[in-house]
Amino acid sequence: MKIATWNVNSVNARLETVLRWFEEVSPDVACLQEIKCVDEKFPAEAFERLGYNVAVHGQKTYNGVALLSKTPLEDVRKGLPGGDGDEHARYIEAVVSGPNPVRVASIYLPNGNPIDTEKFPYKLNWMARLNAHARELLAYEEPLVLTGDFNVIPEPRDAAHPENWTKDALFQPQSREAFRALKWLGLTEAFMAIDGAPESYTFWDYQAGAWQRNNGIRIDHALLSPQAADRLLSCVIHRDVRGWDKPSDHVPVVTELDL
């Protein structure tokens, strides 16, 4: 089973590019972030024609996440627990049905910048809520994949120029510590477990020729429960998609499990 994550940076603005990738790769499950539209404006029919079931947690102009699956989605949850009054559409979770069901979540973790505003405490609080929910999900002892744009650079090696990120929320000690705390629950970071090659980035800014100079960062991750990690076959960053016409600033990451 191929489970993809991709921050598409507006699904409608980049629909042609996104559909091209879907047609070429045909993931079994896809987790999209930053779809930037309400549920009714999500181009569900275009994906349904490719054979996908669709679940959307959208928001006008900002944020928004979606789950697409070739088999039916069950037990769909929209929104991360514990956020009374938090209306940001950043989390959607479902059980992907089939002979070997797997629970999958599409995550768009808050950016947190600027760090001297309320946005950074919101990021850390959101990560604490994710940690608490992950604990509950792990108690089910089932295949679980938490994947998406985590907006965290885990280690200096995950940035071409880490010194440029020292004042950014993505690389603050508190952000990185919260990400490690998630893994310490018993989650395996798929890419590092299977590959971990240097200069493996998932995001390149649109400015200053970042893509051309490979000035990137790795912030799109897949975290696996022990039951999923035991079935991990591969985790591939589809780097070439950043060079396509009208690309997102992120590229897809595809985790394959023996399910």
Active site residues: 108, 149, 250
Binding-site residue positions: 7, 34, 149, 151, 249-250
pLDDT at 85: 81
Answer whether 0.85 is exceeded by the pTM: yes
Domains located in the chain, CATH noted: 2-257 (3.60.10.10)
pLDDT at 32: 98
The phi and psi torsions of 62 (rounded to 5 degrees) equal -125, 160
Strand, helix or coil at 197? coil
- Is residue 55 within 8 A of residue 76, CB to CB? The reply is yes
Binding-site residue positions for Mg(2+): 7, 34, 149, 151, 249-250
> Digits of tens for pLDDT over the chain (259 positions)?
999 999 999 999 999 999 999 999 999 999 999 999 999 999 999 999 999 999 999 999 999 999 999 999 999 999 999 988 889 999 999 999 999 999 999 999 999 999 999 999 999 999 999 999 999 999 999 999 999 999 999 999 999 999 999 999 999 999 999 999 999 999 999 999 999 999 999 999 999 899 999 999 999 999 999 999 999 999 999 999 999 999 999 999 999 999 9
Give DSSP secondary structure letters for 54-118: EEEE--SSS--EEEEESS-EEEEEES-TT-TT-----EEEEEE-SSS-EEEEEEE-----STTST
Tell which phi-psi region holds residue 40, choosing left (phi > 0), alpha (psi between -120 and 50) or beta. Answer: alpha
Strand, helix or coil at 41? helix
Query: Which pLDDT tens digit goes with each residue over 166-224?
Result: 999 999 999 999 999 999 999 999 999 999 999 999 999 999 899 999 999 999 999 99
Torsion 203-132-126-90 (CA) sign: positive
